[in-house]
């Protein structure tokens, strides 16, 4: 069973500082990951950072696979419903994700 949530915050920290904080939360919670891309006990990701784009070896913002994942898009649409109105060719389908997909 998984619990997926999206949190919106205001911060003066840089995207890399937010990533470091997220990773420290995973360490404090004793995150376990037994295989790469496999299930883990906790996974904290930085999905968006305002309108900024970050592309470094250790951080991609917006998160490169978030738009493919119903378990991310459903809670994201509750926190930021305006993302459903992004122009064609951009972020689509945020509000169209059926809850049943998220609950699988």
What amino acid positions are annotated as catalytic residues? Answer: 31, 40, 43, 45
- Are the beta carbons of 62 and 56 closer than 8 angstroms? no
- Are the beta carbons of 48 and 64 closer than 8 angstroms? no
Q: How far is CA 80 from CA 13, 33, 42, 96, in A?
A: 20, 29, 23, 14
């Amino acid at each position: 069973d998984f619990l997926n949530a999206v949190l919106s915050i205001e911060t003066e920290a840089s995207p890399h500082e937010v990533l470091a904080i997220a990773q420290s939360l995973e360490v404090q919670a004793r995150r376990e990951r037994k295989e790469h891309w496999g299930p883990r006990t906790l996974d904290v990701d930085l999905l968006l950072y305002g309108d900024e784009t970050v592309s470094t070896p250790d951080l991609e913002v917006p998160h490169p696979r978030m738009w493919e994942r119903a378990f991310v898009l459903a809670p994201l649409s509750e926190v930021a419903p305006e993302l459903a109105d992004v122009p064609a060719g951009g972020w689509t389908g945020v509000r169209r994700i059926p809850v049943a997909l998220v609950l699988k």
